[in-house]
Amino acid sequence: MVRVPRLLPVGALALLASGLVTGLVGATVGAAALSATAVQAQQAEPDGFSDAEPAKRGRRSRRERAPRAERKAATPPGMQQATPVAIFGDWNVFVNGDGRAKLCYAIAQPQARSPKTLKRDTAYLFVSVRKGENVQNEVAVMLGFPSKPAASQIKPGSAAAPTDPTLNLGTGRYGLVVKDGNAWLQNPAEEARVVSEMSARNPKLVIKTTSLRGNPTSDEYALAGFAEAMKRTRDECAK
């Protein structure tokens, strides 16, 4: 089953529509909000993705040397309206809204990105819980650049192609559907399984995509602390 983008927002689009990323799109939501991530990426490069010079060697910055306990919450641009609740390893827990409109999510940035010589915006992986809609495990990714869509997204029924975007977890490989720099699992029925595997002993999760310019990419997320972060996310939305 392939998730087709709907008029009603899901995943990252729910954050856009809920006002968490109004800094990206001003007062405009709906269709304009769908392309906010891509617009932000295109401000620096034609498609938000370019070859760049390798980073020069030198002394690490104070931020890079900071101990884990002093890390700040990984808040994507424009999400400052959400309230940071806790940090578990590389994972942060945020809450927005009250009552049945409450949105809670665990979010992290990639620990490693490959190739290192390619320039792109910051990426984020998050799992959302939306109390009023009975959503418990929605997995979404902000890629930081526009990606080539899956073959089945272009032509329904097509076989998977080597350039298809995927979420790789242990021995599992899950197809992604992409839109404007955002990605979700192609099959929503797999969300609970993916979150369960993320909470198990898998040390990492890898997002593999191909940029619109044809550059293969790989973003690696550490999963240490995810189980605790997800439990706290559910607890916060249960209040």
Per-residue pLDDT, 99: 86
For residues 111-119, average pLDDT: 92
User: Does 42 fall in a domain?
Assistant: yes
User: Does 64 fall in a domain?
Assistant: no
User: Does 6 fall in a domain?
Assistant: no
User: Does 218 fall in a domain?
Assistant: yes
Q: In this predicted model, what pLDDT tens digit does every residue of 150-194 receive, in sequence order?
A: 999 999 999 999 999 999 999 999 999 999 899 999 999 999 999
User: Does 57 fall in a domain?
Assistant: no
**Domain containing 168: what range?**
12-50+69-238
User: Does 58 fall in a domain?
Assistant: no
Average pLDDT, the chain: 75
* Tally of domains in the chain: 1
Lowest average pLDDT, out of 24-28, 107-111, 142-146, 195-199, goes to 24-28
For residues 64-76, average pLDDT: 43
Give this prediction's pTM.
Answer: 0.71
Round to the nearest angstrom and report the end-to-end CA distance of the chain.
33
Q: In this predicted model, what pLDDT tens digit does every residue of 103-112 receive, in sequence order?
A: 999 999 999 9
User: Does 3 fall in a domain?
Assistant: no
User: Does 158 fall in a domain?
Assistant: yes
CB burial string 19-46: b at 16+ within 10 A, e below? bbbbebbeeebeeebbbbbbebbbeebe
